[in-house]
Amino acid sequence: MAKLGEYSAKRRFEATPEPAPSVPETGAGPLLFVVQQHSARQLHYDFRLECDGVLKSWAVPKGPSLNPDDKRLAVFVEDHPYDYASFEGVIPPGQYGAGEVIVWDCGVYSPDEGGTAFHDRAEAERRVREGIAAGKLSIQLRGEKLKGSFALVRTKDAKAWLLIKHKDRFASTADVTAQNRSVLSGVAVKDLKVVPVHRMPATQLVPAGKSASMPASFEPMQAEVADAPFSHADWMWEPKLDGYRVLVFIDEHGVRMRSRRGLELAGIFPRLAAELRQQAVHGVILDGEIVAFDASGKPSFSTLQNRFQLKTEREITAADKATPTLFFAFDLLYFEGVDLRKAPYRDRRRYLAQCLLPSPLIQRVHAAEDGVALHTAALASGFEGVVGKRKDSKYEAGKRSPSWLKIKPTHSADFVIGGYTKGKGARAPLGALLVGYWDDPHPTTRSASSPPLSREAGEGRRSAASSRRVYDDGKLRYASHVGSGFDDRTLAQVKARLEPLHSRSCPFAEKPEVNGPVTWVKPELVAEVNFQRWTEDGSLRAPIFLRLRDDIDPKTVQRVEPTRTSSSSSRRKPGSSDIEEKTLDPGFRRDDERKEKNRTNSESREIDGVLMQLESTKNSFDLVIYAQRIRLTHLDRVYWPANEALQQPALTKRDLLRYLAQVSPLMLPHLADRPLTMIRMPDGIAGQRFFQKHWTQERPAFVETVTVFSDHKDEQHDYLLCNNLPTLLWLAQSGTLEFHVWHSRAKLGPDAKSKSTDYSSSLEALEASVLNYPDYVVFDIDPYIYSGKEAEGAEPELNTVAFEKGKEIAFALRELLQSMSLEAIVKTSGKTGLHVFVPIRRTLDFDATRHVSELVSRHLMRLHPKDITMEWSVPKRTGKIFMDHNMNVRGKTLNVAYSPRGEPGAPVSMPLTWDELAGAHPLDFRITNVIKQLPRTGDRWIDALKRKQDLERALKGHKA
């Protein structure tokens, strides 16, 4: 801890979110480097190297450069704790280094003078210590933005160093600092005051863990077949490459490239092997695909297959020049002493981006969260389809897992060839293939020895395998005959491959019925076949031959049923993840079941119908719902402009309608029977906005109203009630972006003290009615902590520091209420504030609940006088949390749960559990992503409202 004395002396950890000093336990794996962009008094970059449990740190005013001619000043500063490596956030004003911090780049590093030592921490740290002491340190960086060799050189001033890029293949004159977003959160530092950032443990930044020897071999993880792509926050998507799947093992002995069938391919692709050799010295395992491209630049399996058939060194060398093959890596499974197969895919993906040294022939596969968009783009680029991977999935070697899903535009599968029929005319040598699959109800496992791996082209010996399925009792089941899909070349090729496999006996468990002579063959050749579907009798409908698959072990071929991921339509079902139950873990299934209980089958059909109609490209049309018609106009009008900070496209009225339709099963219960105040923005959030309490215009018959006496004007007014989906969508068509409601309901119930529904005849009648008895006590937590960007006299803008302070007060309020035997519930306001509610039976009127809120708030203010204010003077509120007990007044409104807000980013007022609030930020919940998050919170909040407690009884005799 003595190493961090200077760091500690400069900071007050009760006031700054920076990590307190600590030294982690020594682990295995490469050393970490991190570059943090820091917007303090001036924007600069903090360059940090892990050594001896701390981060050796230099402040680099202009940031790193990839140009060897640039000598960037790097000022040596105090050591930082290891946990600081993942710090992103806002250091509050008045604290040391006040400003925003992001992780601009991070990865692994090693001293590289005389060779690297990624695999040997002790040796690497020794050389780092000696280099810093000597004033000259040469290091190799493997980050997402910074790769290659750099030097740190001390000048005559002990604190002043120079950071210089060495000349290597990663040197460039391009400005690397133009890449201005965090490699962890994707946020730019200029947006950090507003955009949410969630820290991960520093131990997850780079490959780390217990030291492990590199596995000699294992089989690749495989994906289940699914029928359609989808977009879900828990999944990432990659284009499906049309090539040979390969596991690459790299160590001091060389490069081994193993196909799925266990063939050694390094000798067949020597140029790829040579480039892969540069990835590491002491141990790397990559999972990826070898791909060849045709003359048009699209992936071509036939080109790759022709390349695979070459035998002589001369042919291979010529082919490498004419049609080079590339290796696309999509997984990192082992790196310099750390076995990563149990790490989640999201982390392995990041480690791959860091550790892979790309070259013209070695590339990383692109990945994205929007599976639907990537699928469209992949097909347009000539790829087979897409592969979806759960972000939390571990690497299940040798297994076909529902955590990975592959989607292709048509069904295709691999089948074993068991024979062929004679054809007619030009097709006489081969009419149709007879194909099947292994039916193995009781597979066994046996260990295999490890024969030496051949590196000679075409030798084709099976690689070692730690375990392999053996079909001792398996039966080859006939699937279909395949006669379509051949041309003269493939016909001759397949016939030549089948000739040596002729057999006298039928390999199928049951002899298939065929018309004409059959030649049986040993089941040692695999064909990929396209087909429409499986028929009821277990045959293939409309099968078409695609190609032979030399990279597939015929003994592993079984029947594969596509996993259904969506309805027959490509539309996403509202609130669903678009994945059927069998592909989801139990937690998702339970959440989906709970959601379905909140709406009837009729609602579901109507919502699906709305979403289908909104797929129309028309800018105006009549929407039909529950036999009602709503005229929709200006559907492409932008309501929320594109938001660069959130990487969010422009959102239109059509997007608002989609969101409200999908969220309606959870939103409508909060709107029902409550007088509604609308905030309308017909031209979007950049245009005019106005409050509308009363509706005097013509309205559709399905829109309900309630007439309420106004004590301010001594007259009656009609309020709208949003009691059904047509009303909700009609309001959105009218430009209503925000929905604010009373805290009481115009509906009798067993919990209501009043039995009167006379709201309009007089003030006395209104005060005696059920509408004067709220459902909850409200605590409105409103931070008056400014971002610094507000116009003079404006309310505080959403900023992270303010929201974090508001959360502190919310948790303090909850603790106080719990001491009174009261349980509170919470939601975000959608802006900087929080709304805390204590559900009650309707036995207290508004005057009583206002008094209760004031008593509790004042007691909380006495406990936290520096943080809370109840002053009405805005200048006196500045820098504190304002608690407004006057929200507990009849006629006052708050935005309803799930209501959008007319603010940049399209945030939503989101109900949360208290555990979720701890790590939440308002912009975590936007109309673009709330539907994916509904299983987490929605119905639990409704349940809390139903479990009302009698506040009057709980407070009896208790002094606030």
pLDDT digits (tens, 9 = 90+) for 844-859: 999 999 999 999 999 9
Taking every pair of Cα atoms in the chain, the longest distance, rounded to a whole number of angstroms, is 102
**What is the CA 268 to chain-centroid distance, rounded?**
38
For the chain, list residues with pLDDT below 70. Answer: 1, 410, 440-473, 536, 562-601, 933-960
pLDDT at 678: 96
Please check whether residue 29 is in contact with residue 206, taking contact to mean a CB–CB distance below 8 angstroms: yes
Active-site residue identified among 240, 408, 807, 892: 240
3-state secondary structure of 124: helix
pLDDT at 581: 31
Strand (E) positions, 693-830? 704-710, 715-721, 736-741, 776-783, 825-828
User: pTM value?
Assistant: 0.76
- The CA-to-CA distance between both ends of the chain, in Å, stands at 44
pLDDT at 606: 87
Tell me: the pLDDT tens digits for 630-644?
999 999 999 999 998
Tell me: the pLDDT tens digits for 134-182?
999 999 999 999 999 999 999 999 999 999 999 999 999 999 999 999 9
User: Which residue, among 328, 358, 351, 357, has the nearest Cα to 140 in the 3D structure?
Assistant: 357
| Burial class (CB within 10 angstroms; exposed 0-12, middle 13-18, buried 19+) of 428 | exposed
- Considering the domain delimited by 589-955, tell me its CATH architecture: Alpha-Beta Complex (3.90)
Equal CATH topology for 222-409 and 589-955: no
Please check whether residue 744 is in contact with residue 895, taking contact to mean a CB–CB distance below 8 angstroms: no
Lookup: tokens for 835: 């709304």
| Burial class (CB within 10 angstroms; exposed 0-12, middle 13-18, buried 19+) of 395 | buried
Whole-number Å distance between alpha carbons of 458 and 398: 25
* Domain limits, the chain: 2-204, 222-409, 412-556, 589-955
pLDDT at 446: 34
Whole-number Å distance between alpha carbons of 322 and 295: 10
- Considering the domain delimited by 222-409, tell me its CATH architecture: 2-Layer Sandwich (3.30)
User: Which residue, among 703, 678, 632, has the nearest Cα to 900 in the 3D structure?
Assistant: 678
- What CATH superfamily is the domain 412-556? Nucleic acid-binding proteins (2.40.50.140)
pLDDT at 305: 81
pLDDT at 440: 62
Sequential DSSP letters for 810-859? HHHHHHHHHHTT---EEEE-SSS-EEEEEEB-TTS-HHHHHHHHHHHHHH
pLDDT at 732: 97
Whole-number Å distance between alpha carbons of 467 and 450: 11
Please check whether residue 478 is in contact with residue 436, taking contact to mean a CB–CB distance below 8 angstroms: yes
pLDDT at 588: 34
pLDDT at 631: 95
User: Which is it for the CA torsion 874, 876, 882, 884, positive or negative?
Assistant: negative
Sequential DSSP letters for 899-927? -B-SSTT-BB--EE-HHHHHT--GGGSBT
pLDDT at 136: 97
Whole-number Å distance between alpha carbons of 172 and 184: 24
pLDDT at 25: 78
The kind and range of the H/E element at 538 are none
Beta-carbon-side half-sphere exposure of residue 488 (alpha carbons within 13 Å): 2
* Beta-carbon contacts of residue 369 (< 8 Å; ≥ 6 apart): 231, 233, 235, 236, 237
Starting at the earlier edge strand, list the strands of the sheet with 834-839: 868-869, 881-883, 776-783, 834-839, 825-828, 911-912
- The amino acid sitting at 47 is F
- What are the φ and ψ backbone dihedral angles of 409, each rounded to 5 degrees? -65, -25
Annotation marks residue 511 as catalytic: no
